[in-house]
Structure 1
Amino acid sequence: MLRLTVISGMSKPGARAAQRTQAIGRHMMSTLSKTEDSVTFHSRGEMRIFKLNRPEKLNALNEEMIDLIRPKITGWRDSKAAGFIVSMGEGRAFCSGGDIFAVADSTTREETKHQGPAYFKKEFELDYLLATLSKPYVAIMDGITMGGGVGLSSGAHFRIVTDNTMWAMPETNIGYTPDVGATHWLLQLDGEIGTYLALTGERISGREVMNVGLATHYMPPSRIPAFLDALAEVDRIHAPKPVKKAPLSPLDAALVKASMSTSTSVEDVADNNEPSVTKTEEQDSQEEAEASNARELYFNAVRNVVLEYSEPAAKYESLFSGHLRVALDGAFSQKSVEAIMEYLEKLTANPSDVVAQWATKTLKTLKSRSPTSLKVTLQALRNARSSEKKLLPRLQEELAVASAFCNGASPDFVEGVTKAVGPKDKRGAPSWSPASVNEVSQEILDRFFKPDSPYRKSTPTLGFTKLQHASLSQYESGYNTFGLPSDADVKKLVEGASTDSTGSALTEREVLLAVVNQFGDRPEVVGKAWEVLQRNCEAIVSSGLGADGSPYLTWKPKTLQDYDERAVKGLSTDSW
């Protein structure tokens, strides 16, 4: 058994913590120091773990933690000894966000104003490195996952949620705007769910985080220790036997193929101490083939362990489905915040009590948020949707908007943070300026988005060269490759545009079988696909019946009016 190594000079509390870790972890090796207490690093077999360790601060991500994590990630990424990476948090939070009060406070003094953009630069660079790992990355979001925690976890191939998970991007409530890649990741969600979550800052928890596409799997928190033990046994030679569905789908295979890397580094000597040698072209080719096989084994093996310890739902249930989902898309697809509010106002009289109550609550929430933040957030999302669909340029634009906030483009940032998390004697309801969305002028928005805006002029550049970006961006994983199918995935199957489709019309059963072939046979996978079909498809009566005796489908989304009419008649909208 590998024993825990403790650097000399560790405090008694640190030593006791080390002893507890040693008792829990089989085959665990960890190195801790006084400067590393805010993040701990562990090696178990070929698994590498970084654990956020500021439970008293809900693992809020400060600059020291970022500086500790980044070199470990680059070392593990390039090390042959490290097969895959796991992130987690100590206590009741995975990560509650960035150390936002320190950032907001620094913007109030000219001599420290540069610290905010510098912090965001480091944070966004770490998020990008994690999102472009060529090795499997597992994020265990067991607890509060907000803001900066969303940035650390969103790029993971496997995003695990539990009953303790509480997810949110609450920035509009503190006079700021969603960042850490939100303009990239939230646009991967179905319809306008991402816009809704960004503007409202709504909290969602447990399985619902997975059901909307923000996570890939649900796991009871009591299983996490055994799950980590099982992952510690994974290696490229003795990969676990397949569980449930072993073969990779074409989509997964494409991801694995794109995840081959033969690069090595000496940044982390503990993980990579092979001597540097000059290799022939034949040796390079052989190593590339070996790396390819290793990657495929790692992705298969990690996926199988995740499936073994995750807990499928008896059936798929999501708040954001059916009638409510159509209403949500209608509201948050509007071109302005004012139009969104007007649409919601009309929905408060909807014949469906569920829709009417949701609209009333959502309208109240939006009216409590910073008007400037709402307008900045909506424009940022709309701009991103029409821009290059790559993470790095979207992070760079988010950094420019963040810099504008730090440079005083709106007083709401300092006001919101102070009233939310500042000194207790200064907390309370914020006074936004301007006080209403109608008062947020184009001139104010230009401060954040015009390239020559003086508020953006000090924006730092994310530290990746074009060559590095080209190398790393190829590893950007499909957001829901290992999760539930999206509306777009199902639509491709129905319309014959998917690699798993026959290219001709399919029946409902044939579509569901194709979904299982691509995403696995978890009940929630089938349930999600069925809900998408009910909401978006109708039978082609004139085309006869398929081999299974049922009609073929065509993609024809149902309208809000369709749902309203059924609600008025008291008919079910679960099936048509």
Structure 2
Amino acid sequence: MTGNIGIGFEVRGAAGIITLDRPKALNAITHHMVLAMRAQLDAWIADHAVQHVVLRSAHERAFCVGGDVRHMAELGSTGRKEQARAFWRDEYALNHLISRYPKPYVSLVDGLCFGGGFGVSGHGSYRVAGDKLGFAMPEVAIGLFPDVGGTYVLPRLPGWAGTFLAMTGARIGMPDAVALGLYTHHIPTERWPDLLEALAAGDEMDALLDRFAVVPPPPALASLYPMIDRVFAGGTVPAVVAALEHAEKGEGVEAEFARLQLSTIRRASPTSVFIAFEQMRRGLSHDLAGCLKLEFRVVTRLLDGHDFFEGVRAVLIHKDQAPKWQPSRLEDIDPAAIAALFDTPLPDELVLPE
């Protein structure tokens, strides 16, 4: 296997294999990894020996817990904002390339898959979920938002599940992730070596995945999806909060679920919660490239703000879990200011190929 720190590349028969391998950081994606992956994917397009691409993790615990936001916060807070923006510009371009990749592209995802981990896997033609998958877009907890194309993917999930995932950052397991369509197949992790061998032998990917796939267990949230649809269909953030407050006054599983979502939303950055809701409102009107362009506008402006740096400090650096958000309450957010984050063009917009 050839590669650089954190990522490796190998051609095994007909398969081009990308392996995420940064175990101490749970495969958090660095700018270096983004650029290396982009260069290799570009090279494999012209390599006739490579019939399909496989993305995997070298470790069981995590597929990838997202982009290296800790480093991005360090850059942004020490006068190197343009370096941080360059990471997101290149990451989003990689996400877009994966969505249009001319060869079959499959991600084998087990363990934790958050944020940027979904960015490099979720836009591919095939997405295989392992037994212990834990999926989340938890960015609102650190003053960020569900980017890497979350604006495109999440509103297209069944019902209002995407809005629920975006506003709360909730983690779901493999059965729910497959049921919602975030993954195309469930293949037990113990079968992956056989799957890789068949891909290397040149077996056609679509038929092969269907042959290996099994039916997942029932989704854990199955009984709650009707309630999620009622609550998160609210036309504004205050309407969603009010619906949760009403639901928590009841009894049983639904009341307990509503209580948990309310406490989660109230701990998150109020600005981020409003951004996430706005993403869900706008996403259906744009293709993936348009959504990534909007996300680049928003992330650029968050680098001029407070909450992203404070969220990284509280959750990832000092780990006191006590961020001081500005503004500190959902009630203090101006929806017009949130809309401006999306609507105001940048002097150097993200440009992606048609």
Q: TM-score, normalized by length of structure 1?
A: 0.59
Give 1:166's match in structure 2, choosing from 122, 129, 134. Answer: 134
Post-superposition shift, 1:337? 1.2
Q: Structure 1 residues 128, 427: CA separation in 2 closer, same or farther (over 3 Å shift)?
A: same
1:101 is aligned to 2:86: no
Residues 476-525 of structure 1: CA deviation (Å, up to 9, x unaligned)? xxxxxxxxxxxxxxxxxxxxxxxxxxxxxxxxxxxxxxxxxxxxxxxxxx
Deviation at 1:312, TM superposition (A): 2.2
One-letter code of the match for 2:278? Q
What's the CA shift for 1:46? 1.1
Deviation per residue, 1:202-240 (Å, 9 max, x gap): 011222211221111112222211211121112xxxx4x
User: Which letter does structure 1 place at the counterpart of 2:124?
Assistant: A
2 CA distance for matches of 1:44 and 1:58?
25
| CA–CA separation in structure 1 for the residues paired with 2:123 and 2:132 | 20
Specify which of 212, 226, 251 is matched with residue 309 of structure 1: 212
> How far apart are the structure 1 equivalents of 2:281 and 2:27?
31
Map of 1:75 onto structure 2 = 43
Residue 420 of structure 1 corresponds to which residue in structure 2?
A: 315
Q: Which amino acid aligns with 2:261?
A: T
Take 1:213 and 1:31, find their aligned partners in 2: how far apart are those partners?
A: 33
Q: Find the residue that maps to 1:80 and give its secondary structure.
A: coil
- How far off its partner does 1:459 sit? 4.6
Q: Separation in 2 of the partners of 1:446 and 1:356? A: 32
| C-alpha distance in structure 2 between counterparts of 1:229 and 1:348, whole Å | 50
Q: Is the 8 A contact 2:278 2:339 kept in 1?
A: no
The one-letter amino acid of 2:2's match is: T
SS in 1 for 2:16: strand
* Structure 2 counterparts to residues 366-377 of structure 1, below 5 A: 366-377=265-276
Partner of 1:61: 29
Q: Which amino acid aligns with 1:93?
A: A
1:460 deviates by: 4.0
Between the aligned partners of 1:233 and 1:447, the Cα distance in structure 2 is: 52
Q: Name which one, 1 or 2, has greater alpha-carbon Rg.
A: 1
Give the 3 Å change call, closer, same or farther, for CA 370–207 of structure 1 in structure 2. Answer: same
Cα distance between partner residues in 2 of 1:332 and 1:362 = 11
Aligned to 1:134: 102
Contact 1:118 1:460 in 2 (8 A): no
- Matches of residues 19-34 of structure 1 in structure 2 within 5 Å? 30-32=1-3
User: Matched residues in 2 for 1:442 and 1:368: separation?
Assistant: 19
* d(CA) in 1 for partners of 2:46, 2:63: 25
Q: Where does residue 461 of structure 1 map in the other structure? A: 350
Write the deviation string for residues 50-73 of structure 1: whole angstroms up to 9, x where unpaired: 111111111110011111111111
> 2:280 — aligned with what?
381
| DSSP 3-state at the match of 1:153 | coil
Q: Which whole-Å deviations, capped at 9, do the CAs of 1:21-67 have from their partners, x for residues lacking one? A: xxxxxxxxx334xxx13211111111111111111111110011111
1:459/1:169 Cα in 2 relative to 1: closer, same or farther (>3 Å)?
Answer: farther
Flag the 1:443–1:186 CA change in 2: closer, same or farther, 3 A.
closer
Alignment deviations for residues 371-391 of structure 1 (CA, whole Å, 9 cap, x no partner): 111111111221222x23x11
CA distance in 1, matches of 2:153, 2:335: 26
Residue 330 (str. 1) matches residue 207 (str. 2): no
Aligned to 1:120: 88
- The secondary structure found in structure 2 opposite 1:114 is helix
Distance (whole Å) between structure 2 residues aligned to residue 443 and residue 161 of structure 1:
39
SS at structure 2 position matched to 1:328: helix
What stretches of structure 1 of length at least 5 have no aligned partner?
A: 1-29, 240-300, 470-576
Q: Deviations over 1:60-87 (max 9, x none)?
A: 1001111111111112123322111100
Shift of 1:446: 4.6
Report the AA paired with residue 303 of structure 1: D
Give SS of 2:121's match.
helix
Mapping 1:402-421, distance limit 5 Å? 402-408=299-305, 411-421=306-316
Change (3 A) 1:442 1:357: closer
Q: Report the secondary structure of 2:290's partner residue.
A: helix
Aligned residue runs from structure 1 range 55-454, under 5 A:
55-91=23-59, 92-110=61-79, 112-234=80-202, 239=203, 301-313=204-216, 317-322=218-223, 324-350=224-250, 353-385=252-284, 387-388=285-286, 390-408=287-305, 411-422=306-317, 424=318, 427-442=320-335, 444-451=337-344
* Aligned-CA RMSD value: 1.7
